[in-house]
Structure 1
Amino acid sequence: MANRLFEALSITHPIIQAPMAGGITTAELVIAVSEAGGLGMIGAGYLNAESTRHQIREVKASTDKPFGINLFVPSPYKEEKDAIARAQQSLKPFLDKLGSTRMGSGFISYEQTIEIYHKQVDVIIEEKVPVCSFTFGMPSSVVINSLKQAGTFIIGTATTLSEALAIEAAGMDAVVLQGSEAGGHRGNFLAGVEQSMIGLMALIPQTVDQVNIPVIAAGGIMDRRGVRAARCLGAQAAQLGTAFLTCKESGANPLHKQAILEGQQEDKTTLTKAFSGKAARGIENDFIREIREVETELPEFPIQNTLTKPIRSAAAQNNDRNMMSLWCGQNPNLAEPITAKELVHKLVDEE
């Protein structure tokens, strides 16, 4: 099955760079990983169709190796004015502290989000992107069939066996298993976050025993030991996020990289909805701690994400990592400030 996945993806090594949205996954990072024999992935979750096309063409201009792209599957949400007003009141002290008067606004409706998403799918088909992965849910049968007809290899994201089985039943070609150790947003879509917090080493064997599509392991994998362990349990490849986040080609804010590289022994990761309204794992800081008491009342994703954008931007400008979203998996001690090519080679050395 590993050979089947390698052939389908046209990759040399069982390494996939996690598609980290929000500017972390630059075209340079995608190109470097693909050129090194892994699969570079564009994180297009926050992009519009035009920006998506631009980044695809930027990658294609510098490599003829295969690469992929990731989209967020939109979930229904409403713009609830009372919840937004309460959240704005909770966020105002942070804006005051940062010397900013700009409150997050310009909310995009669910209908607009759906429209952007479908336009992105059209761009992926038009640009003949070889691989497309999805997170936060499953694409519709119409989207799956359209991509399959275009020859695109389709990957779903699951946090439980039930989600992996649903992804296989929908006709997708492979599944990324996101263990509880993974940094960034949780990809659960059939159950709540608590029910989806299964460790990767427990999730892989129970899934490979029941699905016939290739399984890709994600969550806490930082070196070749992690890659080997995942493959020993039946995964055909490993997807790494935090390990690539600290690479030189990554677009992560230098403070974000520094928090992972220098604060490894003291900083602990935690799950939080403080920044986006959706559960995500990152390094705990003052913002997360202070918002925790009202976390259950926050507007849902992506409304809260829009509200906190000015805080995150001002914090970055003020070099204040206590108010930044520092997404990180549970194994930061192995992160290194090296090139993506060097990382890929270290991951597969002596394979």
Structure 2
Amino acid sequence: MTDILDRLGLTVPLLQAPMAGVTTPAMAAAVSEAGGLGGLGLASSTADAARMAIAETRARTDRPFNVNFFCHVPARRDAAVERAWIARAEPLFAGFGAAPPEELREIYRSFRHDDDAMLALLLETRPAVASFHFGLPRPDQLAALRDAGIMLLASATSLDEARAIEAAGLDAIVAQGWGAGGHRGIFDPDGPDERLETEALVVRLARECRLPVIAAGGLMDGRDIARALGWGAVAAQLGTIFVACSESLADAAYRARLLAGGETVMTRVISGRPARCLANRFTDWGRDAPDDTVAPYPCAYDLGKALNAAAVRAGETGFGAQWSGVGAARARVLPAGEIVAALASELGQAG
């Protein structure tokens, strides 16, 4: 079960979560250089931007790193729902002296459905690891990636999703618990969700699945990693711990709100899919919005980004996508490599 760590040459059983909009080549390379597996969140990137990020990471390290993509079903568009969502947000925009977009765009592509340019890039550049969120690539895409020698991971929030990952022939499962920050990887956001915490999910998947399991969600220090290994995981994936590191793209307001700690909430209002965010003015505004009134992902994100931009121009920072898992206050203001070293030391002491 630890073969994947040996294949990657990891000296710390740690994956840095590939957080789109936060991770950088400098962060990923620093984590990999320190003995973990760095990650690039490329779900919102074009193929050209992804090519540049991969090249820059390789210029900083010759060690393996992970590249991550979304496999969401394209938006089920409903013009009436989208118009109503725009109208609901109009007073917020007006408060910042701005107008909402007249219509919403489907701003992110799905690797599975319409992004063969990204597949071609991966086959050309052959990163050591590719991982997927919201679902799985097509069988032909997976076959091509396997033939290229790329290790394949995918997120699961349930046993059914884990079994689908196993049946598709991937190499490991990232078990994403309910306390994880950012977008919930559930394949069908409108389907049932057991909302399992990380421990319960990892224990179940480690018992029921043949593939190695990587624990993710609410893990913030080396003692947490040790606990995850005790649940049956072969490694842990941590994201929130790196948001405030010096290599992060998080802005000053995001960092300050993170380090202040406080409540996190699971919300659809920012992007259209369930995601865990630090409670702020945007999440407060959306608390009473029924799920079926929110524009679909990623169209709602088009509005959310426009709203945040208008708010920032007016000096308000409470409308950003300030993703965070539970335990936000335990984030660290250190370079990424030093965070990995601290986690390894804590893990050693816990062991």
TM range (shorter): over 0.9
Normalized against structure 1, the TM-score is what?
A: 0.93
Query: 1:293 pairs with 288, 294, 299, which one?
Result: 288
Q: 1:86 to 1:246 in 2, by over 3 A?
A: same
Please say if residues 9 and 153 of structure 1, whose CA atoms lie closer than 8 Å, have aligned partners that are also in contact.
no
Q: 1:27 to 1:318 in 2, by over 3 A?
A: farther
CA distance in 2, matches of 1:144, 1:161: 21
Deviation at 1:288, TM superposition (A): 1.5
Answering whether residue 316 of structure 2 is matched by residue 320 of structure 1, we say yes
Deviation at 1:27, TM superposition (A): 1.1
CA distance in 2, matches of 1:177, 1:129: 22
Match of 1:293, SS state, is coil
Please say if residues 268 and 283 of structure 1, whose CA atoms lie closer than 8 Å, have aligned partners that are also in contact.
yes
Query: 2:330 pairs with 319, 322, 334, which one?
Result: 334
CA distance in 2, matches of 1:97, 1:111: 31
Structure 2 partner of 1:7: 6
Query: 1:304 pairs with 268, 282, 300, which one?
Result: 300
CA distance in 1, matches of 2:124, 2:67: 13
Deviates more, 1:100-109 or 1:299-308: 100-109
Match of 1:231, SS state, is helix
- Could you tell me the percent identity over the aligned residues? 34
Cα deviation digits, residues 276-315 of structure 1 (max 9, x gap): 0100011112222222333420111011011221112233
Deviation at 1:58, TM superposition (A): 1.1
CA distance in 2, matches of 1:319, 1:210: 50
Give the superposed CA RMSD: 2.0
Pairs aligned (count) = 346
Output aligned runs, 1:210-289, within 5 Å: 210-262=208-260, 264=261, 267-289=262-284
Q: 1:151 to 1:119 in 2, by over 3 A?
A: same
Deviation at 1:320, TM superposition (A): 2.1
Normalized against structure 2, the TM-score is what?
A: 0.93
Query: 2:72 pairs with 62, 71, 74, which one?
Result: 74
CA distance in 1, matches of 2:109, 2:22: 27
Deviation at 1:117, TM superposition (A): 2.3
Residue type at the aligned position of 2:183: H
Match of 1:345, SS state, is helix
Please say if residues 273 and 295 of structure 1, whose CA atoms lie closer than 8 Å, have aligned partners that are also in contact.
no
Q: 1:210 to 1:184 in 2, by over 3 A?
A: same
Please say if residues 269 and 284 of structure 1, whose CA atoms lie closer than 8 Å, have aligned partners that are also in contact.
yes
Residue type at the aligned position of 1:96: A
CA distance in 2, matches of 1:53, 1:112: 17
CA distance in 1, matches of 2:257, 2:337: 22
Output aligned runs, 1:1-351, within 5 Å: 1-2=1-2, 4-21=3-20, 23-101=21-99, 103=101, 105=103, 107-108=105-106, 117-189=115-187, 192=190, 195-262=193-260, 264=261, 267-296=262-291, 297-349=293-345, 351=348
Cα deviation digits, residues 111-148 of structure 1 (max 9, x gap): 88766522112111101111000000111111110000
